[in-house]
Structure 1
């Protein structure tokens, strides 16, 4: 079983969110399950620098959408997985964020950049294949940046079929339906798509061209990153305008929960921590907490409940609810550390909190991967009050690090955190705290519940140990993907 795994980012080479972590962890898990998996990546400078033993595959690529010239290269990721890279300097040879320019706006040529990536991916199915020595049985794309792959295979058989070539099965994974890749209709010809593609049963989407819509319409199978989110995106509340199409494809849509790479995220072995610890010996966690209080300039109070936020600082993440309620947590003796970047008003709100409570609230605007590990290890509670959350990874990291998640019941948060209600506590299955409605009052109630339970050390320790033993590794999801691939391989 050969699978081409097409993704716009992969940790540690290029990362803007959880997709990079998934792209780093799922391929090795698939390989362990017996799948011959290779990645296809855009040739960002960090990717070219991070791949080992780069070799050209074939000659120059002269017919890319957008009229750029590129080369397909093959190298190895740090974990040994083989990866192709589209080296097209005019499209990808630029530093910084892969989607947004220095002015904070989307790169104006994003449509052409990711159409080129999709074109090259589809080329693995052509008679004159991109790599004549390796032809995939399945092409698995991720998010809107790969949505044109199944469209090219369906609409351009003259270019990507014929001559007895087997068309591979196609899978598209929706990591966040809010990001859809919407572009002007006049670029249809530049994308090398026929005019018949521009219709509702095609790539047309609200008067433009929708890359994610195209992928959802043409892919053989669709997946998303949690079972609950698979149901939610078929509703008007969460479907972002695509709920009708997804409801018609419900039989081809599967929710497969994301996993955690425990070779990276495990407090027993994590080299980024000041002290390691596990569920049987939590002494190191207390040391991590003290180090975190010092690092953020907080009062060194061992028994102060310390909450954390590691997130994009946006309304969708429910962080306005935190700004409205966290003052009571602090006034009751709690502390808060924040790591993230996002909307200006949210960043300003947390800076103001730090100004009001400088010894109880610490804020770092930006993202720092090693610091994220230290925050997970040193905190008691991680706040994830999202209005929508396809899967979420920070709450899974929190479980492993004994930092109990306090989450809103949506998407993958609902699938991974068991509320510490009396019945769940009695049955020994609780792992955190949940609330339903995105209101300050409900979040405040959960903060009070968490603080009250924290003041009962025996129960808190039992809850913490139970959370740390939950298994959200990648082996189970990899088996689900492997079965899905076999069902569509051609």
Structure 2
């Protein structure tokens, strides 16, 4: 049962800014705990101590009283707390000395020990939440995120940890599937090998641990919560989600509106706000120069920052490029992903170097400069649990063009919406024809300066900060708490 005063919250994730990032989960894990702490709660963030984290932050201090069921395991912490949240890093021997992507190698092959290291990460998270790892601190709430932490509610249940467990699904497509041997390797009882527990088509599914055993399940937007209860996007887990519907909540993510603020962004060459957009024109020219595009203020500049995978609709962008270029538009794209998609993008950039610029990398500074310098942001995801870049774009006066799904449907208002509060362009279905029609509408609006300025200003006034979402999470914690 939750106390009436400040809560002790252990927030567990496989990545978090500013320490390690491959996608939107890191942004959420870097921001939501801070927002909860700013509301007066005692929040601890737990992430793995990857090789890159240890290399970039060599002065992390060891917590001497920590005890774990793995010989040589260490718990580290930053010598100075990151903002108002204490961050813990779990160092597992033989794992944390690996550099590179946390989940896979350069050929996108999963690391072979993913089951062990994330399973043990989840086990130790439950121990920390229960005050059973040598540290005199115990959580009221154990908040876990995505498949990498899906077993933490299971271990909490097995160990009778009294914390309320909450599991957030950021992307149901990644289910954490391993062979049956992982069940025994991680010390889990045989009765969990059942379709009502962790078994999923003769595999062990980590994400089922969170979905089936957490006190509450949340997703990162209301529309996605409804979508995953249907077979089309339920990834074979829609029946379980429908059964848990009374404990399933859709909460739209927020953004860090201090980090993503064009009026004070150190990554961009000129500051601006909704009252004065002169700096945005400077940012556009600077981005064209940085990416070696033709410096043309009148050319519609489209921006993309994305993992290059089928889910993100990159094939729709590739198919639309001839039409974009025929209309005098330019494209700047930043991201990594499928080698086939990367090769196709690289080939087009080589053929059209003054109109198409591709950076196959993760570059936080460039991401900010694309949001500030682009005119239109493309996000034609086939499905999108929440998405953050469409919110960043609105804050930066860069109207997004999105497919109507998940968090995109919940956060972007179409140009033709009768509310008069348009902030971008929304299309459906996820087809080339519908996407191209939306691009034509966007180009037409771009050529109407007064109408375009209203679209920008409306988007920049939207409040996507974390305070409202953090308050809603507190309500979920209270609703999910076991009643005494």
TM-score, length basis structure 1: 0.93
Structure 1 residue 402, shift from structure 2 partner: 0.5
CA distance in 1, matches of 2:150, 2:58: 25
Alignment of 1:75-90 (within 5 A): 75=78, 76-90=80-94
The corresponding residue for 2:329 is: 334
Corresponding residue to 1:139 among 142, 157, 161:
142
Contact 1:92 1:113 (C-alpha < 8 Å) held by counterparts: no
Contact 2:66 2:135 (C-alpha < 8 Å) held by counterparts: no
Structure 1 residue 356, shift from structure 2 partner: 3.3
Of 319-328 and 431-440, the range deviating more from structure 2: 319-328
Structure 1 residue 125, shift from structure 2 partner: 4.8
CA distance in 2, matches of 1:41, 1:356: 42
Contact 1:310 1:372 (C-alpha < 8 Å) held by counterparts: yes
Corresponding residue to 2:61 among 50, 54, 68:
54
Q: Secondary structure at the match of 1:139?
A: strand
Name stretches of at least 5 consecutive residues in structure 2 with no aligned partner: 1-6
Structure 1's 486 and 54: CA in aligned 2 closer, same or farther, altered over 3 A?
Answer: farther
The corresponding residue for 1:18 is: 24
Question: Which string of whole-angstrom CA distances, capped at 9 and with x for unpartnered residues, describes residues 318-361 of structure 1?
Answer: 11111111211211111111111111221222223223322211
CA distance in 2, matches of 1:398, 1:59: 43
Contact 1:51 1:77 (C-alpha < 8 Å) held by counterparts: no
CA distance in 1, matches of 2:174, 2:129: 27
Structure 1 residue 3, shift from structure 2 partner: 0.7
Structure 1 residue 186, shift from structure 2 partner: 2.1
The corresponding residue for 1:462 is: 454
Corresponding residue to 1:360 among 324, 330, 355:
355
TM-score, length basis structure 2: 0.94
Corresponding residue to 2:117 among 101, 113, 130:
113
CA distance in 2, matches of 1:309, 1:407: 11
Corresponding residue to 2:72 among 69, 72, 97:
69
The corresponding residue for 2:435 is: 443
Corresponding residue to 1:187 among 168, 179, 182:
182
CA distance in 2, matches of 1:47, 1:153: 27
> What is the total number of aligned residue pairs between the two structures?
474
Alignment of 1:327-406 (within 5 A): 327-406=322-401
Question: Which string of whole-angstrom CA distances, capped at 9 and with x for unpartnered residues, describes residues 380-414 of structure 1?
Answer: 10000000100001111100001110000000000
Name stretches of at least 5 consecutive residues in structure 1 with no aligned partner: none
Corresponding residue to 1:234 among 205, 226, 229:
229
CA distance in 1, matches of 2:147, 2:311: 19
CA distance in 2, matches of 1:58, 1:477: 35
Question: Which string of whole-angstrom CA distances, capped at 9 and with x for unpartnered residues, describes residues 262-310 of structure 1?
Answer: 1110100001111010000000000100111111222111111111111
Structure 1 residue 489, shift from structure 2 partner: 3.9
Structure 1 residue 200, shift from structure 2 partner: 1.1
Structure 1 residue 103, shift from structure 2 partner: 4.6
CA distance in 2, matches of 1:115, 1:343: 27
Structure 1 residue 70, shift from structure 2 partner: 0.5
1:7 aligns with 2:13: yes
CA distance in 1, matches of 2:29, 2:57: 15
Structure 1's 103 and 337: CA in aligned 2 closer, same or farther, altered over 3 A?
Answer: closer
Contact 1:339 1:364 (C-alpha < 8 Å) held by counterparts: yes
CA distance in 2, matches of 1:59, 1:328: 59
Alignment of 1:171-210 (within 5 A): 171-210=166-205
Structure 1's 437 and 51: CA in aligned 2 closer, same or farther, altered over 3 A?
Answer: farther
The corresponding residue for 1:254 is: 249
CA distance in 1, matches of 2:264, 2:358: 27
Contact 1:335 1:361 (C-alpha < 8 Å) held by counterparts: yes
CA distance in 1, matches of 2:459, 2:279: 17
1:216 aligns with 2:211: yes
CA distance in 2, matches of 1:210, 1:51: 34
The corresponding residue for 2:4 is: none
CA distance in 1, matches of 2:168, 2:64: 27
Structure 1 residue 366, shift from structure 2 partner: 1.3
Of 431-440 and 338-347, the range deviating more from structure 2: 338-347
Contact 1:138 1:488 (C-alpha < 8 Å) held by counterparts: no
CA distance in 2, matches of 1:27, 1:302: 40
